Amino acid sequence: MIPKYGRAWQGVVLPSKKKNLVSPLVTQIILILAFCCKGMLSQQGSSFTLTVARYVTVQRNSCVHIGCQFTYQIHDRRETLSAYWFKIHAEKKTCQNGKCIPGFLVATTNGKRMVEESAKNRFHFIGDPNQGNCSLIIMNAKAEDEGEYFLRIEGNRGLGYSYVDSSGYTQPSISLKDQPRDVQITWSINDVSRQQGTTGPILAQEGDAVKLMCAAESNPDSFLNWKKGNNVLPAQGGIYMISQIKPEDTGEYQCQAKNQFGSAGQTILVTVQYSPRNVTFSITRISRRDPDLSQGFPPEVAHGNKLMAQEGESLRILCQVDSNPSASTHWINPSGKTLKHDSLLELTELTVEDEGGYVCHAENIINSAQKTFQLYVAYAPKLTENPQRNATCWHQDNSFFCHCSFMAQPPPQVQWQVDGETITEKKSNKNQKVTSLIQKNVVTSTLNWTGNLEVEHNIVCLGHNSFGTYRMQLPFSALGASITTESYTGSPATVLISGLCGALLGVGFFMLGLCLLKFYRRKSPPKASCEEMVDPTNSGYLKPSNNSLIYSNILPIGQRTPHVGQPKTPRQKNVKQEQIPKVPDLTRNTVDEVHYAALEFKNSNLSPPIAEEETVEYSAVRRK
């Protein structure tokens, strides 16, 4: 076979009849020369070669050295060579002297040629083409550097040759190895692709199906996972699916991309909108009425949506709702009337009429919810609205029945006292039995008494709770003809204080009376004797009898009344006090008598009395 580049030599030995000793030596010399010439021609024919790596990998923003060696025909070695590295590009061509080469120039040893703008100061030809060196350095590698390159040489005497793949030469391919970058998050709600995006936040409603998808640019490919806080979520291929999203799914979700060159991440906020829920109430007391009445009893009994407050107090109730977006609230009173469009409700000076259910209604763009706040108004025991049920006693056979009814909040406890002895349902005997009937906040207690009915008994009915006491007294008549009731309401502390105040007041009045009596006794004028004040003409005694009459002449200060009989001299009127005999004590007489007395009230001066008509007043007093 004849080589593609070079010539072949063949030696032929012709036949001869004569043997010549010189011919074998000549033949050997000719064969040696032929082989030498053949080697020279073969080297000249196979002179274009290229040695370079087929695949080159470089990390982003780093540099890479690409070693390269080439050969060309020996008869062209008298030329001065220039070398060029081109990057293959389907849409760009480099033309020179009417000849166009596909791709664009990135590096050359010819200073007169311009390289691509993106390759300036980054691609450097470091080899000497005249020595067969075509090595290249790429600095600050970028993504656009990826692709295939080829070498071309040109000489100053017309040599031009391209080492391309179509001619059987290696074209180095550069690939960029990079850590993950440009992490992007997309999502869809209920498989609606038009709601995809990367900016966020994601607004979803409770119950929606939300799909989170993550992608990143990297070489080699990155491993993608999803995290919420410190918790790794079960994602596949960078996709995390929430089939039915809940309010607690609200938060930041992070996609992480990682390979051997580094990692990167992206975060997105997911917000879940939901209807109002978890309606709660916060109660604040504005004022308290007589806290001493509540000692030993909780001031308020609040269990979730229930509260017991005392009559006369004022409350501030705040309705709190969990919702997204925020809900608007308003209150509805027990009668169904809308009170105010606000979360705060104020109730002042509570009465029994304020008792009932107060509804807090909350609503947002998704849905609405409401909850009832039950208010109970506590008050001390008092009589019911039906007077016939308050207190009644009657005889039946050989028994005596009494019952009394009280209403209070909380319901009162009723106990009886018979002649000072306390009787309750739990504390009774064979002659005394107590039964009670409770209807909401009304308690009716009945006393069945079978004791001695021939004598009077003091019966008291007491109704009490932690806010006060109501006392009803029912005096028992032995004949059953007269039954009256007395009532008193108040707390035990109030009863004690009232009793002490009454006792002190009574003592005060008693002492004041003694002082006044003593004072007026000192100031009173001297008294005349019975003999001086009685007219001798009318003096005399009635016959004693069992029913005696006592007559007295009362002389008021306004009108002076003269005594009966002859007027007395001034000397007789000014008798000293110690000389006046004492008036007999009529209460000590054992025999009923008739006595006449004339009383005269005189001024301090001693002027003669003015004569006036005699007026005598008689009053009859009979002893029973």
Domain range summary for the chain, segments of one domain joined by +: 1-43, 49-171, 180-273, 384-490, 491-523, 525-624
CATH number belonging to domain 49-171: 2.60.40.10
pLDDT > 70? residue 14: no
C-alpha 554 chain-centroid distance = 86
Range of lowest pLDDT (332-341, 365-374, 503-512, 513-522): 513-522
pLDDT > 90? residue 269: yes
With respect to CATH, is domain 180-273 assigned 2.60.40.10? yes
The tokens describing 576, both together, are 């000293």
pLDDT > 50? residue 367: yes
Give the Å distances, CA to CA, from 272 to 258, 276, 325, 562: 29, 13, 9, 112
Q: Do domains 49-171 and 180-273 have the same CATH topology?
A: yes
Q: Are strands 160-163 and 314-324 parallel, antiparallel or unpaired?
A: unpaired
Q: What is the pLDDT of residue 554?
A: 34
- Residue at 173: amino acid letter: S
Judged by DSSP in three states, 617 sits in: coil
User: pLDDT band at residue 231, thresholds of 50, 70 and 90?
Assistant: very high
The tokens describing 380, both together, are 């001390």
Q: Which residues contact 475 (CB under 8 A, 6 or more apart)?
A: 456, 458, 459, 482, 483, 484
pLDDT > 70? residue 263: yes
Q: What is the pLDDT of residue 160?
A: 87
More confident residue, 482 or 359: 359
Ranked by mean pLDDT, the top range of 135-144, 155-164, 478-487 is 135-144
The pTM of this model reads: 0.52
Q: Where are the beta strands (DSSP E) in 209-311?
A: 210-219, 223-228, 231-233, 239-242, 251-259, 262-287, 306-310
Q: Are strands 173-189 and 210-219 parallel, antiparallel or unpaired?
A: antiparallel
User: pLDDT band at residue 402, thresholds of 50, 70 and 90?
Assistant: confident
Mean pLDDT for all residues in the chain: 74
Q: What is the pLDDT of residue 75?
A: 76
Q: What is the pLDDT of residue 305?
A: 76
Integer Cα distance of 109 and 127 in angstroms: 9
Q: What is the pLDDT of residue 357?
A: 93
Starting at the edge strand found earlier in the chain, the sheet holding 421-423 runs 421-423, 413-418, 457-465, 468-476, 486-490
Integer Cα distance of 594 and 596 in angstroms: 7
Q: What is the pLDDT of residue 196?
A: 56
Q: For 414-442, what is the mean pLDDT?
A: 84
Span between the terminal Cα atoms of the chain, in Å: 179
Range of lowest pLDDT (138-147, 181-190, 383-392, 488-497): 488-497
The tokens describing 255, both together, are 């996609």
Contact 597, 534 (CB under 8 A): yes
Contact 411, 446 (CB under 8 A): no
More confident residue, 204 or 483: 204
More confident residue, 324 or 166: 324
Range of lowest pLDDT (34-38, 262-266, 348-352): 34-38
Question: For 620, what's the count of Cα atoms within 13 Å in the CB-facing half-sphere?
Answer: 5
Judged by DSSP in three states, 343 sits in: coil
pLDDT > 70? residue 173: yes
Ranked by mean pLDDT, the top range of 45-59, 347-361, 377-391 is 347-361
With respect to CATH, is domain 384-490 assigned 2.60.40.10? yes
Q: What is the pLDDT of residues 120-129, one digit of tens each?
A: 999 999 989 9
> What is the full DSSP assignment across 284-314?
EEEE-S-GGGGTTS-S----SSEEEEETT-E
Give the Å distances, CA to CA, from 164 to 85, 125, 172, 330: 11, 18, 10, 83
